[in-house]
Amino acid sequence: MAAQPLTDWDSGLCDCFEDANTCCYGFWCCPCLACTVSERFGENRCLPLCDICSPAIFAACGIPLFVPPAVLSLRAAIRNRYGIKGSICRDFAVSCFCEWCSWCQMHRELKHHKKNQPIIVNVQPPPMMMAPGPTNVGFVSQPGVVMVHPY
């Protein structure tokens, strides 16, 4: 099976006017937007707090921290999952210098993939259920309801 070709992000880094709701949300409450993106991607909702708390903690220990770890790791993971062109160096630069624009772009990307997600319907009939006891004739009329013939 051939690998899928890499694609571009659904929207550009500074395409705020493409989805004004996301950018207004990000502008008024950036930590809330970051937590929402993290949760929608399947990570812990509190992961972005690392970006807020870790610079202060590391600075208190004398270690300068310039890269926000949550935005960098989530950006690389989203890019990897959806086959988006890019590199870890570019993710690094975007995470350092355009952190909130990156959160908005990731939010728009997740909305795009959720909207275009196929719906899978299972059309198999439910399995036949047999009633316990001496009777061995039965059929399922509804899931969880067994009809038994007394003969």
- Per residue in 5-25, pLDDT (tens digit) is 889 998 888 887 777 666 666
Residues in the chain, how many? Answer: 151
Encode pLDDT of 49-77 as tens digits. Answer: 888 777 777 777 777 767 788 999 999 99
How far apart CA 82 and CA 7 sit, in angstroms, is 8
Pairing of strands 145-148, 138-142: antiparallel
H helices of 8-48, in order, are 20-28, 30-40
SS3 state at 140: strand
Residues paired with residue 146 on neighbouring β-strands, in sequence order: 140
User: What predicted TM-score, i.e. pTM, was given to this entire model?
Assistant: 0.67
**What separation in angstroms does the CA of 10 have from each of 18, 19, 26, 35, 68?**
10, 12, 18, 21, 23
85 has a pLDDT exceeding 90: yes
